[in-house]
C-alpha cells in the first residue's frame, strides 16, 4: 500500500475546511496545511487534524504556495486538495481501494472533478479528469534495448474516483482582479491563462470586468505571436466590451474578426443581442438561431444553449409571436449542458 501526504493551501476557509478534511483525513498518512493569511478560525480547525501547519506569506502566486506545501511532504505520493472539495462515501471507498492497489510505476493519478456547472465555474463541462495524486520522488529509468533513453513522460493513470467540487461562492472577483493586476503590470499571459481569463469573463464577468479587460484583449488581437484561437477569444471579449460601451464601430470591427475565423456561438449571441437592443428582431433571430444551432461555443457553453434560446424567445415575444416565444422559452428552461 502506498503512503500519501495531503497538501492544501488555505485562507479563511473556516466554513469549508472541516467538511473537506472529514471526507479525506483517514485516507491520508500525513496532512500538511499551508495558510496564506487567514483572519478567521481556519488554522484552529486545521489543528484538529494535524500539527503540520505552516504560514506562507501571500505573494499573489498560487503556484508558489503549492510548491511550498509540496516541499513539506514526506510520503510516497502527494494528494493536492482544496477546501471546497468533498469525497462522498462511494468515492472514499474507491480512493481507499486505489491506495491499496496502485502500482509503483504510476507517477500521476487523475481523478474526476465533478459538479462544475452548479457553481458558475469557468469550465464548460460538469465532470473532467484532473491530475490529483502525484508521486513525490520520481524514479528515472532507461528504456529500449538499443538506442536507449531515459523515460521522461510520466506514467499517468486515469482513476474512477470523483471529487465533488462544492465551493461556498464563486471566486470570480478574486480571479478577475488577479488578471487585471497581472496584465496592467505588463505580464504576458500564457495561452492557457489567456483562455481562462476570457472564459471567466464570459461565464461570470460583469460589464465593468469586460471594460477593464478591453485594453489587454485589444493588444492580444494585434499580437502576432498569438494563435488564431487566442485572437478569436480576445476579439469576443473586445466585441462584448464595445457593445457594453455602445461603440458600434469597434463592436463590428471585432465581431467581424471572429466571423472571418469561422465564428463561434459567443459572437453570434453578441450580434443577436446587438440587434435585439436596436429592435431589429428579424436580424436578432438569425444570430440567436446561429448561436443555438449552427456554431460551437469556445468560452461559455451556455452561449450555444439556454442564452440564445432565451434570446429567441424574447425576440418572438416582442414581435408578437407568443406561441414560438413559449416554445423557445421551454427549450431554454429544459436545456442542460452535456
Whichever domain contains 121, its CATH number is 3.90.550.10
Residues 231 and 329 in one domain: yes
Residues 131 and 254 in one domain: no
pLDDT of 106 higher than 90: yes
Higher pLDDT, 147 or 294: 294
Residues 36 and 141 in one domain: yes
The last residue of one of the domains, among 165, 188, 214, is: 165
Q: What is the mean pLDDT of residues 11-23?
A: 97
Least confident of 49-63, 120-134, 140-154, 323-337: 120-134
What's the pTM?
A: 0.77
Residues 156 and 277 in one domain: no
Cα gap 148→150, rounded to integer Å = 7
What pLDDT, on the 0 to 100 scale, is given for residue 151?
82
Q: Tell me how many domains the chain contains.
A: 2
- Residue count of the chain: 338
Asked if residue 177 lies in contact with residue 197, where contact means CB atoms within 8 angstroms, the answer is: no
Q: pLDDT-derived band of residue 125, with 50, 70 and 90 as boundaries?
A: low
Distances (CA, A) of 163 to 194, 200, 338: 26, 22, 18
Q: What is the dihedral of CA 59, 60, 63, 69, to 10 degrees?
A: 50
Residues 96 and 192 in one domain: no
Burial call 26-51: b when 16+ CB within 10 Å, e when fewer: ebbbbbbbbbbebeeebbebbeebbe
Cα 69 → chain centroid: 22
Residues 32 and 55 in one domain: yes
Q: Which structural domain range is residue 146 located in? A: 4-165
**What are 215-255's pLDDT values in tens digits?**
999 999 999 999 999 999 999 999 999 999 999 999 999 99
Q: Indicate which CATH number applies to the domain containing 238.
A: 1.25.40.10
pLDDT of 119 higher than 80: no
Q: What is the mean pLDDT of residues 163-178?
A: 83
The last residue of one of the domains, among 165, 197, 222, is: 165
Residues 104 and 190 in one domain: no
Q: What is the mean pLDDT of residues 41-69?
A: 96
**What are 252-270's pLDDT values in tens digits?**
999 999 999 889 999 999 9
The last residue of one of the domains, among 133, 165, 197, is: 165
What pLDDT, on the 0 to 100 scale, is given for residue 139?
82
Q: What is the mean pLDDT of residues 63-71?
A: 95
Residues 273 and 160 in one domain: no
What pLDDT, on the 0 to 100 scale, is given for residue 149?
84
Cα gap 81→20, rounded to integer Å = 9
Residues 284 and 160 in one domain: no
Q: Dig out the grid coordinates for 153 from the structure.
A: 513522460
Q: pLDDT-derived band of residue 284, with 50, 70 and 90 as boundaries?
A: very high
Residues 198 and 253 in one domain: yes
Q: What is the dihedral of CA 171, 176, 179, 185, to 10 degrees?
A: -120
Residues 152 and 224 in one domain: no
Residues 204 and 145 in one domain: no
Q: pLDDT-derived band of residue 117, with 50, 70 and 90 as boundaries?
A: low
Amino acid at each position: 500500500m502506498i503512503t500519501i501526504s495531503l497538501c492544501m493551501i488555505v485562507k479563511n476557509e473556516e466554513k469549508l475546511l472541516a467538511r473537506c478534511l472529514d471526507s479525506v483525513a483517514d485516507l491520508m498518512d500525513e496532512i500538511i496545511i499551508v495558510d496564506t493569511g487567514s483572519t478567521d478560525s481556519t488554522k484552529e480547525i486545521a489543528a484538529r487534524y494535524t500539527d503540520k501547519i505552516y504560514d506562507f506569506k501571500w505573494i499573489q502566486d498560487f503556484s508558489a504556495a503549492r510548491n511550498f506545501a509540496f516541499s513539506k511532504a514526506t510520503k510516497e505520493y502527494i494528494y493536492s486538495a482544496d477546501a471546497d472539495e468533498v469525497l462522498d462515501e462511494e468515492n472514499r471507498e474507491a480512493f481507499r481501494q486505489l491506495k491499496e492497489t496502485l502500482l509503483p510505476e504510476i507517477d500521476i493519478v487523475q481523478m474526476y472533478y465533478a459538479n462544475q456547472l452548479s457553481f458558475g465555474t469557468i469550465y464548460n463541462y460538469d465532470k473532467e479528469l484532473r491530475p490529483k495524486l502525484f508521486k513525490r520522488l520520481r524514479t528515472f529509468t532507461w528504456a529500449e534495448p538499443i538506442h536507449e533513453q531515459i523515460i521522461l513522460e510520466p506514467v499517468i493513470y486515469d482513476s474512477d474516483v470523483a471529487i465533488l467540487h462544492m465551493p461556498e461562492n464563486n471566486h470570480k472577483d478574486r480571479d478577475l482582479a488577479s488578471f487585471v493586476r497581472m496584465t496592467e503590470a505588463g505580464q504576458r499571459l500564457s495561452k492557457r491563462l489567456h483562455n481562462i481569463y476570457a472564459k471567466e469573463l464570459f461565464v461570470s464577468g460583469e460589464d465593468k470586468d469586460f471594460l477593464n479587460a478591453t485594453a489587454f484583449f485589444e493588444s492580444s488581437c494585434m499580437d502576432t505571436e498569438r494563435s488564431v484561437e487566442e485572437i478569436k477569444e480576445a476579439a469576443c471579449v473586445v466585441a462584448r466590451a464595445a457593445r457594453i460601451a455602445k461603440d458600434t464601430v469597434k463592436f463590428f470591427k471585432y465581431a467581424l474578426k471572429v466571423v472571418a475565423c469561422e465564428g463561434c456561438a459567443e459572437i453570434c449571441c453578441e450580434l443577436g443581442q446587438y440587434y435585439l437592443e436596436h429592435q431589429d428582431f428579424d436580424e436578432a433571430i438569425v444570430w440567436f438561431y446561429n448561436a443555438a444551432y449552427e456554431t460551437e461555443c469556445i468560452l461559455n457553453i451556455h452561449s450555444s444553449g439556454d442564452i440564445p434560446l432565451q434570446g429567441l424567445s424574447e425576440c418572438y415575444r416582442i414581435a408578437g409571436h407568443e406561441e414560438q416565444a413559449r416554445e423557445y422559452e421551454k427549450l431554454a428552461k429544459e436545456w442542460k449542458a452535456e
